[in-house]
A and B are shown apart, each in its own frame.
Chain A
Amino acid sequence: MKLKQYAFIALSFLPLSIIAQVEPIEIKAALSNDTILIGDRVEFTIRAAGKGKFSVFLPELYDTIPGGLYLMGKPTVDSSFKNDVSSFTFKLPVTAFNEGIFSVNNFEVLVRYSGSIDTLRVTSNSVVVMLVPHDSTLNDIKDIKPPIKEPVRFSEVAPWAGLGLLLVALAVLLYMYLRSRKQHKPFLNLFKPKDPPHVIALRELRALEEQKVWASSNNKLYYTKLIDILRNYLEGRFEISAPEQTTSEILSEIERLDFDFSLYIDTLRDLLYTSDLVKFAKHTASIEENHRFLKFAIDFVNGTKPVDYSANDEIQNLEPNKPVKPDSPDSLTNKPK
C-alpha cells in the first residue's frame, strides 16, 4: 500500500536562517509488545527529540516495513516544540502473519535541519509472533454439517423412470423383432393389417355354423349373434352405422346405397324381422329356418364383398361383381379346398 501522501511530515517553526547550531537529535524506535499472536496488532513507535528546530518525516511506506512486518493502517504523527525542544512521535500499526521472531531493522527516518536532510536508521526491539494455541476446552467441536437431504420428488424421477421404461420397451421390441426374424414370422400383430369386413364376417359365420348354435334351442342367442355379425359387416363394408340402427333403419339405409341388393333384400328383410320376433317377441324359429338364414348370411357376405377380394377368398371363388344366388347349392357347402 502506497502511503506517500501520509508519509511526509514537515514541521517548521522558525526561518532556517535563525538556526545557528544543531544539537544532537535522539531517535528511539520500539514495538509496543514483545509477544503477539499471529494477526494481532502491534504498534511500532518512533520517537525523535532534540534541541532546536528541525523536522522529521518518514519515507514512502508500502505494505511491509523492513523486518517483515505488515503495515495495517495509516501512520499517525504527534509533534511539539516546547522550551526550545522539538519532539516527534510516529505510530505505525503493524502485524505479522507468520510464526517467528520479528523486529524492525534499519527503518529509515529523514531529518531535515538547516536546509540539509539526513537519513537515520533505527532498529526496534523484537516481537515474538506465536500461533493461536489450541483451545482444549472446545472438546465438543462438531464437524461441518452435510447438506440437508430433501425427499426425492416425482418430477425429478419421472424423466429417468420414463427413460428407463422406454429403454425396457425398446429392449423388448428388439427381442421380439429378433425372435420373429429367427422364426420367420411377422414382427408385431399390431402392424398386421386388419382383416377386411367380409373375411371377419365369414370367419364368424363359419364359427357360428360349426358351433351348431343354429341347431340349438337358444334361438335368441343364435339370432343375436347372426344379426350382430351382419350388422358389423354392413358397417365395415358399406360404412353405415348398422350396429346402432334398427331393422327399418338398416333396410332404408341399404336401399339408399349405390349397390344392387335386389337378390338379397327380401330375404334380408325376412331375416331382420324374424330376428326381431325371436329377440323381442319370444318367437321360436325352426331349425330349418335358422339354417336357411345362416346360409343366406354367408351368401349375402360373399355376394356383396368388394370385387378385389372375390378371387382369393377362403370361402368360395366368385366372379367379380356377380352376386351369388342365396339358394345356390355351393353357398354354404362350398368349403375351402
Chain B
Amino acid sequence: MSVQSTLDIKELNERIRLESSFVDIINMEMGKVIVGQKHLVESLLVGLLADGHILLEGVPGLAKTLAINTLANTINVKFNRIQFTPDLLPADLIGTLMYSPKSEQFNVKKGPIFSNFILADEINRAPAKVQSALLEVMQERQVTIGDESFKIDEPFLVLATQNPIEQEGTYPLPEAQIDRFMLKVKIDYPKLEEERLIMRENLAMQFPKVDKVINPSDILKARRVVREVYMDEKIEKYILDIVFATRFPAQYNLPRFEPMISYGASPRATINLGLASKAYAFIKRRGYVIPEDVRAICHDVLRHRIGLTYEAEAENITSEDIITDILNTIEVP
C-alpha cells in the first residue's frame, strides 16, 4: 500500500514536472513586461490554476492592469477589460435584448462578460447592482438574458482591481461578495533597482510584447492536475487549524484577538486555502503540498475574509497582523 502510494506520488511528481512546464514559460513572458512583482505574478498563476478569481489592491501605477493584460496576452484566450464607473448598468456588463426592426425580433446582444479573462478595473467604482451582477456570474458561471441562459466559456477568470486610497464616490464591496474572490492580492511598490529598470525602459520607449504561449485547453488540463496534487492529512489539519484560529483565537493561544475579530474565515476560505496551496505546489513543480505552500498563499486567501471590530481598528490591528500572528503561533506539522 505504502509502496504503491509512493509510486503514485512519484508518478504525480513526474506528471506535474511535465504539465507545469508552461509555468516557466508564462513567467518568462511576463518577466519581459512586468519588472519585479514576483508575488503578483505567482498569485495570478495560482488563481488561474486553482480556478479562483482574484482581487488586486494597490495604489495607482503599480502595474495591476498591465500584469493582468500581460497574463491574458500570454494565453490564447479572449480577454475583455471593463472599466467600472458609477453610471455602469448590469446590462452594460452581461448584455441585453435588442429589438431588430428588420427581423421584428429581439436578439441577444452579449456583453463584455462573455470572455475568458475579465479585467474588472476599479470594481468599487460601480454601484452595488453592477457588482452584484458580476459576482453572480463569477459564482454561477452563467448569464441569463431574457429567458435564455448562457454558459460562460472556460477558463473563466475575473481579475478585479480596486484602489484603496480613493474612497470618494466608491461603493465598497460587501463582505459576502468579496468572499467570492479566491485571492485578494496586495501589491506593494517595486524595489529601487526594479524601479530604475522601469524608468529606463519607459524613457527608452522600450515596451516588449509578449507571445501567446499557451492554449486554454492546457490551462484546463493543468487545473485537473492541480486537483490531483497530494495533500496529506497533516496539511489538512494545518489548514483547518489556521482557519479555525481566525474563528476561535482563544482556543489557539491567541486570546488577545478574541475581541478584535468580528467574524472569522468561512468554509469557502478553507476550500480555497486548500486549492490555492495545491496550485502553489503545482507552480513549484511538486506533486504534494508542504506547509510552505500553505503559508505562502495564506495571506492572500484570508486577508479579505476576516472581519475586524472597531477595537481592532482603534488599535491599528489589521487582518494581516492577525494572519501573521496565527501563522507564527500554530505549530507547523
Contacts and interface: CB of A to CB of B under 8 A. Distances in A.
B290 A284 contact: no
B184 to A, nearest CB: 23
Contacts of A224: 333
B9 A281 contact: yes
A244 B6 CA distance: 27
A279 B232 contact: yes
A281 B288 contact: yes
B332 A245 contact: yes
Contact of B9 (A217, A243, A283): A283
A282 B234 contact: no
A276 interface: yes
B332 A282 contact: no
Given A244-B329, A244-B330, A281 B292 contact: no
A280 B328 contact: no
A159 to B, nearest CB: 29
Contacts, number: 55
B295 interface: yes
Given A279-B232, A279-B234, A280-B288, A246 B9 contact: no
A243 B332 contact: yes
Contacts of B316: none
Interface string B1-34: 0110110110001000000000000000000000
Main secondary structure of the interface of B (DSSP, over half): helix
Contacts of B327: 244
A276 B290 contact: yes
B291 interface: yes
Interface in A217-259: 217, 224, 241, 243-249
A280 B286 CA distance: 11
A247 B330 contact: no
B235 interface: yes
A278 B291 CA distance: 13
B287 interface: yes
B324 to A, nearest CB: 11
Nearest to A277: B288
Contacts of A282: 2, 5-6, 8-9, 230, 232, 288
A284 B6 contact: yes
Residue among A217, A224, A248, A282 having the largest count of chain B Cβ atoms under 10 Å = A282
Interface of A: 217, 224, 241, 243-249, 276, 279-284
Given A246-B332, A281-B286, 9 more contacts: A244-B331, A246-B290, A246-B292, A247-B290, A280-B232, A280-B291, A282-B2, A282-B6, A284-B6
